[in-house]
Structure 1
Amino acid sequence: MSCPICGKPAMEEYRPFCCKRCADIDLGRWLKGGYVIPGAAQEEDDPAPSVEPPKH
């Protein structure tokens, strides 16, 4: 198995990566939103559904 970041052979300690550096690069991509699961686009400007107060 080769490292998905640089292509070098993976090391058991960092599997599937070859070293801590490549593992950290991958983690950084996850944290910055570099990896996205495809799905329907959502508008961030849509207001949250309002809840009307109960009428007395």
Structure 2
Amino acid sequence: MPNIGIPEILIILFVILFFFGGKKLPEIAKNLGKGIKEFRKEIKSIQNTVEPLKKELK
């Protein structure tokens, strides 16, 4: 998986700003944060489900 550095992040932010404008940017950032939080929560849930199964198989 390629690493995303500062220049790439700045380009992505510029494109988002260009397409959605400055007024929508806080709303987009808020929704993105919620999405990331939910994604991490689900990953943690999956890990908690898989760990006992891994131990059982050993």
Interval of TM-score (by shorter of Structure 1 and Structure 2): 0.3 to 0.5
Q: TM-score, normalised by structure 2?
A: 0.35
- Give the structure, 1 or 2, with the largest relative contact order (CA under 8 Å, sep 6 or more): 1
